[in-house]
Amino acid sequence: MIQLRPRLAEVQLAVMLLTRLPAGRMAVAPSIGAAAWAFPLVGGVVGGVSAAVLLAAMAVGIAPGMAAGIALAAGILATGGLHEDGLADVADGFGGGRDRARKLEIMRDSRIGSYGGLALILSLGLRWQAIALLTVESPKLGAFALIALAVSSRAGLPLALLWMPAARTDGMGKSASGTTRARALISVAIAALALAVLVGPAEALTVMVVQAVVQLAFARLALRQIGGQSGDVLGAMQQLAEITGWLMLTR
């Protein structure tokens, strides 16, 4: 029998961890690994914020391209740029470090280098363009895609926590280790359902398969580069999956 209170606490912790949205306080928090199954649900909340802003902007007559940019900004504000920061740190570390220790050192540095800056420009540009393209076709389609891809791009993170060792002895990647296969599968099931309902079963299958391939390839790269996963690696993994989803939906 499913116990509701622990599951709600796990959802609350996931919101607190992955967003800047108000989520109350917790006297006793579950482990991050236990809450990993709820990462796609948090994505749905973030995507819902972006979708609501997109539709509101269109309703007051803002052009689709500008509305898309505002919607993208709303999602970034909701997360505090958490995943974008991870992408930039990974790009700098993997691109600029000569060995594992130096790569991890660069990734921990709060400053953004040229590799990280370019990665952010490409990520924002590709997503902005894709949102605008779908919104021109149909504002409803653009809004649904924002939600669906925010969900599906986070579905692979519990699998990374399950299968990849932590690259550091501290940090989010280490503290989030310890999830289970059942939680990872629940995460994938949530994403599959969201995609099927919001963008259609055929597109859902294509998006999930290609996202899985991209995330697996990136996981293998991270294993070679730094020996495992970290909070930054997970953030970059989410960004790559989201971009992949947009490429599939706009092809």
What is the reported pLDDT for 31? 85
What is the reported pLDDT for 29? 75
Backbone angles phi, psi at 3, to 5 degrees: -90, 120
Reading the chain (251 residues) residue by residue, the pLDDT tens digits are: 567 888 899 999 999 999 999 988 887 778 888 899 999 999 999 999 999 999 999 999 999 999 999 999 999 999 999 999 999 999 999 998 889 999 999 999 989 999 999 999 999 999 999 999 999 999 999 999 999 999 999 999 999 999 999 998 776 655 556 788 999 999 999 999 999 999 999 999 999 999 999 999 999 999 999 999 999 999 999 999 999 999 999 98
Look up residue 60 and give its two tokens: 């007051």
What is the reported pLDDT for 174? 57
Backbone angles phi, psi at 229, to 5 degrees: -105, 160
CA nearest to 156, candidates 124, 122, 192, 130: 192
Q: Round to whole Å and give the CA distance between 202 and 187.
A: 20
Residue with tokens 């505002």, as numbered in its chain: 70
Q: How far is CA 235 from the centre of its chain?
A: 6
Q: What is the pTM of this model?
A: 0.94
What is the reported pLDDT for 247? 97
Residue with tokens 């359902």, as numbered in its chain: 193
What is the reported pLDDT for 169? 78
- Tell me the three state secondary structure of residue 16: helix
What is the reported pLDDT for 173? 55
What is the reported pLDDT for 228? 93
What is the reported pLDDT for 79? 97
Mark 156-174 as b/e (b = at least 16 C-beta within 10 Å). Answer: bbbbbbbebebbbeebbbb
Burial of 125 (0-12, 13-18, 19+ CB in 10 A): exposed
Residues in the chain: 251
Residue 148 exposure: Cα atoms within 13 Å on the Cβ side: 28
Q: How far is CA 150 from the centre of its chain?
A: 6
Q: Round to whole Å and give the CA distance between 69 and 157.
A: 26
- Ordered by start, the domain boundaries in the chain are 38-249
